[in-house]
Every structure is written in C-alpha cells, then in structure tokens.
Amino acid sequence: MNRRKFVADSVAAFATASSILPSSFSDAPSASGLGRMLTLDAKPTPISVDTAKTAVLVVDMQNDFGSKGGMFDRAGIDISVIQRAVAPTARVLAAARKAGIKIVYLKMALQPDLSDMGLRDSPNWRVHQQIMRVGTTVRAPNGAESRILVRDTWNTDIVNELKPEGADTVIYKNRFSGFYQTELDTKLKGLGARYLIFTGCTTSVCVESTIRDAMFRDYSPVLLADCTGEPVGYGLPRSNHEATLLLIQIMLGWVSSSEEFIKALESPTPV
C-alpha cells in the first residue's frame, strides 16, 4: 500500500471511530460546578473537555533548552524553534489561569551528584554526560555560577517569560517522560485532571515521551503544535516535529493550537 494513502486512511479511520464513540465516553460537567464544557477544534476530531478536569503541562521550558547560554545553546544546537514557542505558550498560560485551569511544570533536572542519571553505560548517561556535559560548572548570563542540567540552578530555571506562579505545580524529572519515577500521575489524579493540554520542548523527545505515558494511563492528551519545538531534524524535508504531530493525531491523542485553545476558553457560552 502507498505510504501516503496508508496515513490518510489511518487518519480517516481514527476520525470516524472518534465520531461514533458513545456519549458516555465524554465526561459530564464537573459536579463541583466550577468547570464548564468546551469544544476544542483539533485533529483528528474536535474534543470536548471539562475545564475542571483539565491541566496545562509545560514540559522543560527551561534555560538549558531555550535560553542563550543554556545547555543546547552551548552545544551549538539551534534553539530558535524552542524560542518561537515561548510567546504562544505565555498566552495559553494567561488564558488558562484566567479560566482557573491548573498548570503543571515539568523540569528536566538532576541531583548535584548526578546519582539519578542512571548507569554509566546507559543511553541516558551517554547522552547527558558524554554529549551534553551535564553537571559541568558554567557561568550563567547573569554572572552567577551554575551547572548544566542540575537542580536549583539558573540552567534549570524556567525561562523568564513563562515563570511559574504560586498556585502552579513544579515537578522535577530525570528522564524524558514526566511520568517516570515522579509524582506526576499522583498529582494529576489529585487535581482531578483527565484532559492534559501539552506545551513545551522538545516535541519528539520529552513532550512525545510524556504524551505516550499519559495515553497509557488513559489521560486524554492534546498537544498545542505552536507551543512546542524540536531542533532534531529541523530543516529536513520531513522533520521530527511533524512526525510527532502526525503520530499523536493518529495514535496518541489530539493536536490543536494556542489560538484554538484560547478561542475555546473565550467562547461566551459552553459548546
């Protein structure tokens, strides 16, 4: 079968299946009365979400990945695709806070002794220590001493434009997935969250890894495509970013945009 036809048929089949799911598949409005039902335009189909059962996840939007002087920048990686995601993400966070939607930040950060980086012959160690030089002492742009990808340093602080606020949740992680050996699942269940709106970086690594684990746990993940970026494969005829968007809308969840999310939140009446 032609690959293009296979992809098109897969998307069509998933969309058809989604449109005929029984009404019990969608949650009723929250019993607390604090939320409201919204319909978010997305691929492969629109999705109805209850704002009281929704959380926005901000994945790894920290200086090491998105700021000059951070780990990626020092390694010669083009961070412009990540920086372009900052402004739409800031708008999403402002709209979510106004609507009372919970916000959860994930931060890729290791213990100062690197004891949580894994075995020395593991891929996680190889990528982070041998290639990215995690743990190396550096001078941050503000002149302070810092360390690459280590907790409680400038390098692992969230970028200035997206700083967490007092009511937000911040969770450290030491692997690509935010669910691996963290309290994320417990925290989301405590918030009553079922619908997860994803932003962050990088699209095909930490974001996709976390979305996969969210799907395995029966959350409904929605990725906002303009609120994420992927340097790997950027500029190729078929980028990793685009591959992840396609995979999510076919197999793992939904893909939408910051504009559609904000528009749904600002809709004057529930739809």
Over its length of 271 residues, how does the chain's per-residue pLDDT go in tens digits? Answer: 554 554 455 555 555 444 433 333 334 444 344 789 999 999 999 999 999 999 999 999 999 999 999 999 999 999 999 999 999 999 999 999 999 999 999 999 999 999 999 998 898 888 888 788 999 999 999 899 999 999 999 999 999 999 999 999 999 999 999 999 999 999 999 999 999 999 999 999 999 999 999 999 999 999 999 999 999 878 777 788 999 999 999 999 999 999 999 999 998 754 4
Q: Does residue 173 carry a catalytic annotation?
A: yes
Q: Which of 50, 173, 213, 227 is catalytic?
A: 173
Q: Which of 43, 53, 60, 64 is catalytic?
A: 60
Q: Does residue 98 carry a catalytic annotation?
A: no
d(CA 97, CA 6): 40
Beta bridge partners of 169: 104
- The tokens describing 171, both together, are 């969770």
> Would you put residue 107 in left (φ > 0), alpha (ψ -120 to 50) or beta?
beta
Beta bridge partners of 139: 145
Q: Does residue 226 carry a catalytic annotation?
A: no
Give the type of residue at 232. V
Which of 105, 108, 118 has the alpha carbon at shortest distance from 65?
A: 108
Which of 62, 58, 85 has the alpha carbon at shortest distance from 154?
A: 62
CB atoms within 10 A of CB 99: 18
Which of 63, 65, 60, 35 has the alpha carbon at shortest distance from 49?
A: 35
Q: Which of 206, 213, 226, 227 is catalytic?
A: 206
Domain boundaries, the chain: 34-184+226-265
| 34 SS3 class | coil
Q: Per CATH, which fold does 34-184+226-265 belong to?
A: Rossmann fold (3.40.50)
Cβ atoms 226, 85 nearer than 8 A: yes
What is the dihedral sign for C-alpha 146, 148, 152, 153? positive
CB atoms within 10 A of CB 269: 5
